[in-house]
Structure 1
Amino acid sequence: MNRKTFLTGALALLATGVAYPALGQSIPATVDQPVTISYYNYNLASAGNGAEATKRLIAKFEAANPNIKVKGVGASSADITSRIQADVAAGRIPDVVQMVFSDLEFTVDNLGAAALEQIVPETELKAHFEGISPNGLQLGVLNGKTYGLAYTFSTPVLFYNADLFKAAGLDPDNPPKTWAEVKAAGLAITKKTKAEGIATGIFGPSAGDWLFQGVLRSNNGSLMSPDRKTLAFAEPASVEAVAMLRDLYDSGAYTNLDITAAMEAMASGNVGMYLQTSAIQGFLVKGSQGKFDLRASTMPRFGDKPQRPNNSGSALVILSRDPLKRRAAWELMKFMTSKEAYTVITSEIGYLPLRADIVEDPKYLGNWVKEHPLIQPNLEQLRMLERWESFPGPNYRQIQKTMMEGAEMAVFGGTDPAAAMQAAQKSAQAMMPK
């Protein structure tokens, strides 16, 4: 059998749920000999969103753990699961991976993710979990076991250019709180300045569906039935949310830029508002320094309905089958979710600090938080956070893609929102597990 035939066959097995078995044995107490582990991380592949900060954290970890060498492997958040899947199929099993939450169920069911409760001593696991946000910890739990340890994490933030607000006759101290106010502000900016009104990270090849989910939920829409068998994103409340985005675009307030172009336009002062993950905060701060007053607010709501933001971000997952490498991977996971690491992750990248006790501690983030108010909307929304839902079954990514393509056609392609979402739902339902 040649390599191409092997890889094709192995991927087919993975897609049907047949995976290499995960060993259930406990890990050794220490790493008492040299070992190298692979660390698949999408921040390492980012442009200005934390690659350098992640490299420095890895270097600090290696300095503190001289027996452990970490081989960083960068892949975008959109591609990392496919890369991991292909490497597992080829026998190159990663040791620890940064996995987006929407892919966690597939990773457990098909790639042999290790439950931490089965390999880490109970007292050690409990001690490390102490102080981590319960909301964050629960995102990595499936069937009562922790397969993913919450890592980089954010909520949707509305970044805005206070100077453009002033130029457009708007009050920068009272940013838009509803989508109707966003539309009015966007139109004022496009009319009275040379800038675009609002851009978002909702659509595009690397966008996923995390922002879109929050928009639907905030209008009391949903993705699927509670039993996870029937899709529901074409129901009236969800369609109404899509129609709002269509109206925003048709009005001229909403510009259709891909994620990279939108991020760069916001950083250069050419967009008034940008709804996106707080992970781009460092990039925007760097671009705005000395040029304009960058501020942030919470995700817009629909009228009097409350925002229902869900998380973006990732968990750290152990895939290694080797006990010594599992111990080394667990040591890396502990370091990357420590107070020291979250101080760097929050202050230099923009993700939420999932250890709440460091927010006011001057040894960690206390002084930084006082000097950087952009973090406040993120902290506020952590209290109302809802889970980023993953679709069930091996076709989960295709279901997500079909939904997002339907929504994109409705918003930017001129297709009637109800018709577009109904057609997408019909196609996607055929891919759901029977």
Structure 2
Amino acid sequence: MKKLLTLLLAAAMTASFAGCTTTNANDQASSKGETASGEKKEITFLTYNLSIASQKDAVQELIDTFNAQSDTVQVTGVQTDVASLQTKVQSDYVAGNTFDVVQVGLNSVDYYVENYALSAFEDIAGQEAYDQHMEGFAEKAQTLGTYTDGKTYVLPYTFSTPMLYYNKDLFEKAGLDPEQPPKTWEEVKTYGVALKDSGTEGIQITATGDGTDWLIQAMIYSNGGEVLSEDKKTILFGEQPAVDAISVWQDLVLSGAHSNYTDTEAMEAFMAGNQGMLVVSAAMESGLISSAEAGGWELGAAGLPSFGDKEAVPTNSGSGLCIMSQDEEKAKAAWEFIQFVTSEEGYTIITSKMGYLPLRPAIIDDEKYLKSWAEEHPFVRTNLEQLERLHKWVGFPGLNSGQIATTLNQAVTECIFSDKDVEAVMKQAQSEAQDLLPN
């Protein structure tokens, strides 16, 4: 179970790629020239999801299908792990061994544009061809990879939003209506206490143990707050809307409505049928469905709860694809590959076999693609509805961006699992983060 949980948690945090051949990164970075046929342009594709067993086969299928269809391009996947990806990109870039296509977190767009010689998709493909490809792509997702010049340098790829999953059987045991999940955090508290009183755990918001801050940001945005000013010069997660959001979260824990677990422990409890509610990335959905079926209990799902009458504002997790090759022919070959991966056929594989959202929403009603799958997985519609309210997962500027995100994460964890003064903790964290911003 713990091994499965580790794989699922990694899947929620990352995007996914695969190669027709998995080899050492340095060997692949230096491979050049044509295939044995002498006809195809070879390109490399750096991804950390080749190391995730639950997604490797699906990404392999993406690459194999593309390679079989293309008369001009041959893609080879390069495996690394999530912790090493950015270091690998940097060291190989300095050495002149640039990968052609690279997976990046959608909160890292500015970092990659400012530190590497990326080319915009509009420039590689041409504006008309790029616009044509983006027709039918989820509107709110289209701008997540744009830079301040308005051009797109990272194309969203694997993607999810936070959902509230719940155990219908435990709802009934606690005297709750399994067809009426809570819509607000106030209702979540009521439901959570009822579940606790019935002998099980209430809710867990899985946002403190995975080393990222995307779901924490969703909580803050949903209460009208921000984490960073528009000009990217001022940290804002210590301001009142953020403080109030984290205070509600702390109250959930102190009241007993929220379990006092680590995220991994809560996931394990939920999958075993011993946790009533879980707020987690929708990328976990396939694993949760399988656990419910194996455990003989019924899974329910709803969108992210709101703060009173304020509209809930989900963020996105996941990643996109950028083209790092400076060779014009390889860049065009990379664009051909990315077009396939983000096509209707590509998203049919990504959604049905990896669990990420179809960023071409129309395919869930298309018999050729996901209609039959969507009929068996109705929660995907709830997830897609949230895209209309999406707020970009903000990446902090400068070389200390990861440290700033960690500062936010640690401050929130300190607040919710104690009775400390939330305003004092968050103000201190804001001050520390401000000092980490570039001058």
TM-score by length of 1: 0.87
Q: Superposed, which structure 2 residues align to 1:41-190 within 5 Å?
A: 41-46=47-52, 48=54, 50-65=55-70, 67-76=73-82, 80-142=85-147, 143-190=149-196
CA contact (8 A) 2:396 2:404 kept: yes
Equivalent in the alignment of 2:11 = none
> How far did 1:198 drift?
1.5
- Which SS does the other structure have where 1:151 is aligned? strand
CA distance in 1, matches of 2:420, 2:114: 37
Equivalent in the alignment of 2:421 = 416
Amino acid at match of 1:403: L
1:356 aligns with 2:361: yes
CA distance in 1, matches of 2:159, 2:287: 16
Q: Which among 253, 259, 268 is matched to residue 255 of structure 1?
A: 259
Label 1:347 to 1:423 Cα distance change in 2 as closer, same or farther (>3 A): same
CA contact (8 A) 1:81 1:103 kept: no
Equivalent in the alignment of 1:192 = 198
1:369 aligns with 2:374: yes
Q: Which among 237, 246, 268 is matched to residue 241 of structure 2?
A: 237
Equivalent in the alignment of 1:303 = 308
CA distance in 2, matches of 1:87, 1:275: 38
Label 1:263 to 1:88 Cα distance change in 2 as closer, same or farther (>3 A): farther
CA distance in 1, matches of 2:100, 2:309: 47
> How far did 1:415 drift?
3.0
CA distance in 1, matches of 2:141, 2:272: 33
In structure 1, stretches of 5+ residues that fail to align are 1-30
CA distance in 2, matches of 1:229, 1:355: 34
Amino acid at match of 2:417: F
Amino acid at match of 1:39: F
CA distance in 1, matches of 2:115, 2:93: 10
1:60-97 CA-to-partner distances (Å, cap 9, x unmatched) read 12222365032232423x65334423332344322212
Amino acid at match of 1:57: L
> How far did 1:217 drift?
1.0
1:314 aligns with 2:319: yes
Q: Superposed, which structure 2 residues align to 1:211-290 within 5 Å?
A: 211-290=215-294
- Which SS does the other structure have where 2:336 is aligned? helix
Amino acid at match of 2:304: M
CA contact (8 A) 2:63 2:75 kept: no
CA distance in 2, matches of 1:114, 1:32: 27
- Which SS does the other structure have where 1:320 is aligned? coil
1:336 aligns with 2:341: yes
Equivalent in the alignment of 1:390 = 395
Label 1:162 to 1:54 Cα distance change in 2 as closer, same or farther (>3 A): same
> How far did 1:271 drift?
1.6
Amino acid at match of 1:415: K
Amino acid at match of 2:251: D
> How far did 1:315 drift?
1.2
> How far did 1:113 drift?
2.1
1:241-287 CA-to-partner distances (Å, cap 9, x unmatched) read 11111111122222244444433332222221111111111111122
- Which SS does the other structure have where 2:226 is aligned? coil
In structure 2, stretches of 5+ residues that fail to align are 1-36
CA distance in 2, matches of 1:207, 1:362: 39
1:209 aligns with 2:213: yes
CA contact (8 A) 2:201 2:257 kept: yes
| Length, aligned pairs only | 400
Label 1:82 to 1:409 Cα distance change in 2 as closer, same or farther (>3 A): farther
Label 1:232 to 1:331 Cα distance change in 2 as closer, same or farther (>3 A): same
CA distance in 1, matches of 2:84, 2:385: 31
Equivalent in the alignment of 2:22 = none
CA distance in 1, matches of 2:261, 2:60: 30
CA contact (8 A) 1:350 1:375 kept: no
CA contact (8 A) 1:62 1:69 kept: yes
> How far did 1:232 drift?
1.2
- Which SS does the other structure have where 1:199 is aligned? strand
Equivalent in the alignment of 2:12 = none
CA distance in 2, matches of 1:126, 1:263: 40
- Which SS does the other structure have where 2:160 is aligned? coil
CA distance in 2, matches of 1:201, 1:55: 29
> How far did 1:32 drift?
7.0
> How far did 1:329 drift?
1.8
Deviating more after overlay: 114-123 vs 359-368: 114-123
Aligned-residue CA RMSD in angstroms? 2.1
CA distance in 2, matches of 1:378, 1:353: 10
- Which SS does the other structure have where 2:346 is aligned? helix
Amino acid at match of 1:112: A
Q: Which among 424, 427, 433 is matched to residue 428 of structure 1?
A: 433
1:389-409 CA-to-partner distances (Å, cap 9, x unmatched) read 121222221111112111111
CA distance in 2, matches of 1:406, 1:198: 20
